Chains A and B, each alone.
Chain A
């Protein structure tokens, strides 16, 4: 295990180059370039604000609804888009896996870190929105990156599990977009947890993204609150998935080159 960690550490530059490649390729022939990183959550927010905020009048804990949903979409978009990238990272790089040796974990990791640039860009836009809506700054905003980090860990954990399964079962490839689509509705992106009847709260808390998004909002907005139980549950599930994902990945990586 220690050997493996030192090997991964030795090869950290590969991680950088693979992530760099992913980012570079993603925007190479896109005229709007990095603007896409903002456009995707922004346009989703506009649609949500109209249907859910204005027409359905879903409460947003005293925060303007566009800001309420965009703040969640920043993390959710990263989660959904990057999870697909991580889950497909092995089969998309089968030529590398069958021809060159390097620690395999660098492929999902590069996909997870490569997505951070988009997240950074959409976060800058979020900061702009905070100013636009005159949100009073508070020291708790400094805690927000904790939830970004948790999202990365979650994407890594689930992603490694899916990536390794994907090598053997291509079904996974088709499952990922479906799961993230459903996930959007069982995560408090459109609505606050308080919007649901009490008896659903415990079930919702099992979804680790619930704690992430509620926690992220609680850091930004005074009116939002999150229970310690929800946060604890979210972290526990995140770490469990990270352990499960890396364990499965490590125990199957020997055969990747043979079956990918």
Chain B
């Protein structure tokens, strides 16, 4: 294995306050005139990257993850030579192509075809190469009909498709990609993923920044987690993602207090105090992943002894469409007497088959067989379901495709079982 990208003690600092301010000569002159002998006020320095080192082997696909502002984008900009590091250095073998923004440098007035040549050239392709690949690029983009239309008439989706189509044909040794899979429809996304997989199988190196953990998990063999400008963890993708996700479990995440909810309805003999999302091992689960086992722990406080209680909650989409209701009553369960004080009930869901997206929870309790709720909380709680490779495919499946999914299999044994006979009889008939 040969090293494809080597990053050694890379640091990058920005002067805060010095940026964008004083870009008028006048301001500087005024300052010098007012305080001719005083030195410049020390500017605050922000370290966007601090002593980052790693090496990437040829053929590796590395996912770079981290929160916003962690330094991922700065790292990509330094890797692609757009900006210079304050210290340290980067070495890359072969042709490096950086796709920080799909279609960067497109010109509004030029046609799709003209922009392919312009963009391709700026990204490092020779004119001959673009000539040779033009057909493939156009086909990839699916925009053949609009090729001679100025791109100011393109939708943003069309623009992205054209941009990625050019990028997919750059044929670089090292490809640096920043969050571009977020564009386009599902079919186009699949093309992009396939293009990146082709690069990988062709022994090319890919560095890929994304907030989409499913995409990172699918595409990358290795993960690098950047936090506060430094490498926090570097290793197998799955382990890095798990560790990264676990940090969202900062105090209270995964648990939801209701003490402060105002305007609660209900007679109040018993009330919910808190809901926790737990894993199957009973640990707080800050990140809920589609299709995984989950335990909803419903904490209550009873002000008196409660007979014949029913606990219930439902899940609806952000738009308010009811997805499903969970209730002890639907199960025909008779709960034991609940003494005054606090406690909890658990609802264990084997597989939370909600497609990734944001959902709302409404909760209520009935007591003493009364149809009137003792406690009722409407849309009191959010449930964010994160992406996982749902059907084991690399497609990004989220709530654009509905709200729920089911364990499923396709069978193709029936393909071709009756076709030949039908055709031959049809041919005979037409001859006769």
Contact = CB atoms under 8 A, between A and B. Distances in A.
Interface of A: 13-14, 16-18, 20-21, 24-25, 28-29, 93, 95-102, 168-171, 254-255, 257-259
Nearest to A93: B105
Contacts of B14: 258
B23 to A, nearest CB: 6
Interface stretch (B106-114, B221-229, B252-260, B298-306): B106-114
B109 A28 contact: yes
Most A C-beta atoms less than 10 A away, residue of B84, B105, B150:
B105
Interface in B67-93: 77, 80-84
Contact of A259 (B19, B109, B117, B124): B19
A93 B105 CA distance: 8
B233 interface: no
B404 to A, nearest CB: 39
Given A13-B127, A25-B107, A101-B98, A96 B122 contact: yes
Contact of B77 (A13, A17, A93, A257): A257
Given A21-B107, A257-B82, 13 more contacts: A13-B121, A24-B110, A25-B107, A96-B105, A97-B82, A100-B82, A100-B98, A102-B124, A171-B25, A254-B83, A254-B84, A258-B14, A258-B83
Contact of B122 (A17, A29, A168, A169): A17
B265 interface: no
Contacts of B114: 21, 24
A16 B104 CA distance: 18
B100 interface: yes
A254 B82 CA distance: 8
Interface in B108-134: 109-110, 114, 117-118, 121-124, 126-127
A25 B110 contact: yes
Nearest to A106: B122
B66 to A, nearest CB: 20
Nearest to B27: A169
Contacts of A13: 121, 126-127
27 contacts: A13-B126, A16-B127, A17-B117, A18-B118, A21-B110, A24-B109, A24-B110, A25-B110, A95-B105, A96-B104, A96-B122, A98-B82, A99-B98, A99-B100, A99-B104, A99-B105, A100-B82, A100-B100, A100-B105, A101-B81, A101-B98, A102-B122, A169-B25, A170-B24, A171-B25, A257-B77, A259-B19
Nearest to B150: A28
A162 B98 CA distance: 29
Interface of B: 14, 19-20, 23-26, 77, 80-84, 98, 100-101, 104-105, 107, 109-110, 114, 117-118, 121-124, 126-127, 150
Q: Is the interface of B mostly helix, strand, loop or mixed?
A: loop
A95 B105 CA distance: 6
Contacts of A170: 23-24
B23 A21 contact: no
A21 B118 contact: yes
A145 to B, nearest CB: 27
Contacts of A100: 82, 98, 100, 104-105, 122-123
B20 A259 contact: yes
Contacts of A99: 82, 98, 100-101, 104-105
Given A21-B107, A99-B105, A101-B80, A14 B122 contact: yes
Nearest to B74: A258
User: What 3 A-B pairs have minimum CB-CB distances, sorted nearest first?
Assistant: A99-B104, A17-B121, A101-B81
B100 to A, nearest CB: 5
A257 B100 CA distance: 13
B24 A169 contact: yes
B110 A95 contact: no
A105 to B, nearest CB: 14
Interface centre among A25, A98, A100 (most CB of B within 10 A): A100
B424 to A, nearest CB: 57
A67 B83 CA distance: 50
Given A101-B80, A101-B81, A257-B77, A169 B23 contact: yes
B321 to A, nearest CB: 40
A14 B123 CA distance: 9
Nearest to A99: B104
A246 to B, nearest CB: 18
Nearest to A97: B82
A70 B126 CA distance: 40
Contacts of B80: 101
Nearest to A172: B25
Nearest to A101: B81
Contacts of B83: 254-255, 257-258
B236 to A, nearest CB: 31
B394 to A, nearest CB: 26
A52 B137 CA distance: 58
A14 B121 contact: yes
B99 to A, nearest CB: 9
Given A25-B109, A95-B105, A99-B101, A258 B122 contact: no
